[in-house]
Amino acid sequence: MAKQARKQTVDHVFSYTSEAELDTQIQAFKAAHADAHGEGLALDSKRPLGPGKARLSFRVVELRHK
């Protein structure tokens, strides 16, 4: 039986005032990571840390080229 590769993750804590602002911050974070590292990020989990704060885990994925 072949071993599965362990998924590589990136965690980041976001502070926000609305879900729309959080979405904007997530898109900017993913774009900055892609530019800096040449790899994409897919949202894996979201853990609330209190009002207006959350820790998001992203799994590293291969960038899709259009």
- Structure-block tokens of residue 58: 């992203």
| Cβ atoms of residues 42 and 58 within 8 Å | yes
Q: What is the mean pLDDT of residues 45-60?
A: 97
Q: What is the mean pLDDT of the chain?
A: 92
Predicted confidence at residue 66, as pLDDT, reads 57
Residue 55 has pLDDT above 80, yes or no: yes
CA-to-CA dists, residue 38 to 26, 27, 59, angstroms:
17, 15, 14
Q: What is the mean pLDDT of residues 50-63?
A: 95
Residue 26 has pLDDT above 80, yes or no: yes
The pLDDT-based confidence of 7 (bands split at 50, 70, 90) is: confident
- Give, as one character, the DSSP assignment of residue 17: S
